[in-house]
Amino acid sequence: MNLLVVGASYRTAPVATLERLSVSTADLPRILDRLLAQTYIGEAVVVSTCNRVEIYAAVSGFHGGLGDVCAVLAAEAGCSPADLANHLYVHYDEAAVEHVFRVATGLDSMVVGEAQILGQLRDAYHVATEADAAGRQLHELMQQALRVGKRAHAETGIDQAGQSVVTAGLEIAANRFGGSLSDRPALVIGAGAMGALAVATLTRLGLGSIAVTNRGADRASRLAEAYGATAVAFDDLTVALSTVDIVVTATAAIEPVLTRETVAAALARRAANGSATPLVLLDLAVPRDVDAAVAELPGVLVVDIDRLAADLADGPVATDAAAVADIVTSEVAAFLTWLRGAEVVPTVAALRARADEVVTAELRRLAQRRPDLTDEQRADVAHTVHRVVQRLLHSPTVRVRQLAAEPGGDQYTALLRELFDLEVPNTSPVEAVPDIAPRVSLPAPGGDR
């Protein structure tokens, strides 16, 4: 089995496309089941966040695996694979490992160094584990990715250099208020992980009164209590909007939470109360919480993932990004060494099993030819024959493990299977990966646009 990553992110797709691809937490087990039902996919993990949707898969063939993943993504998005082609990136084997490690360390994030992605990867891995969708390869890949992410944040200053998406959005909002958000009243819609991050960030930045609302009132109350904020009823959303200057919304709703009518009603109340300050809506949800028509209302600034990506594209790169990149490079090399060594294990096991079969058959024939041998004599002969076989196999099996761990080592594994005519399921040699554009019009493996 080989590793394959297929995905779309803020780098390659607009929010509208990410919305179509987005997978809710509740739907993850169903998508995983659908992926595993495909012919070429043996393991799968699905990562769906506000700015990326990615499938990590262990596949038995590149073209077949890619076709299977694209078919599932297209079906979920309600379109054809060709419609998605220009928005997808593909990474295979070594490039797949490097991509996952870059994601885990925050190097591939919209805001370099942000740490939320580690939690999102951990959650995706947990769901895949619960669904029995992650096998040996993806278990190892995800565990190592989480470790590498933690190492990068522990050994470099990327935590200080990297912001959260919330912080980046609030910096844009601050420009609307003369560069400062101090004492500005704010509302957070949503009490999940991103909502909690928003409340924590708003509190740290010293904003004024902070309100929290959520369809589930209990979660809103617990989050508000943890940060000294105020919980408001979701049914009172229009009233709450009319009393704040900044709104951060990050729910898991599949339809817009803030419609044009709701925001217009809130603006009317603000005007009636004599407020002339702008209303900034920071939409961190995918699918979007803010209806696109809201941006047309006077006095409203909508900052969504598309706007963040555009504003941050030319932003400063964290000074420690190079150090993190070095960590990723070394960790990728270590993981590939492990992976190549692991791939030869089933072949070595099959060789030893074949040797045991031969020894057992010969000992059975000896017992038929020499029925006069005592049990003790038979045991001595069996022990001696087994020792001879094991000693003969020891050096070549140790050496093939060493050779397999080196670049191009899969050829030695393939040669061993060929020489001894071994049947080893799911250990076919890594197939060559030519340019796949003529087949499915996608970027070549390893190309991240």
Task: Tell me, yes or no, if 50 is annotated catalytic.
Answer: yes
Which helix (H) or strand (E) element contains residue 247?
Answer: strand 246-249
Distance CA 404, CA 321 (A): 32
- 145 contacts 101 by C-beta, under 8 angstroms: yes
Q: Give the strand order in the sheet containing 279-283.
A: 230-231, 210-213, 186-189, 246-249, 279-283, 300-303
322 C-beta neighbours (distance < 10 Å), count: 11
Distance CA 105, CA 155 (A): 11
| Candidates 4, 21, 50, 53; catalytic one | 50
Q: Are strands 279-283 and 246-249 parallel, antiparallel or unpaired?
A: parallel
CA atoms within 13 A on the CB side of 43: 21
- The single-letter DSSP state of residue 429 is P
Structure tokens at 364: 């059975």
Measured over all CA atoms, what is the biggest interatomic distance in the chain, rounded to whole angstroms? 111
CA atoms within 13 A on the CB side of 372: 0
* Phi, psi at 220, each rounded to 5°: -65, -40
Q: Is the dihedral of CA 109, 112, 116, 117 positive or negative?
A: positive
Q: Which residues are catalytic?
A: 50
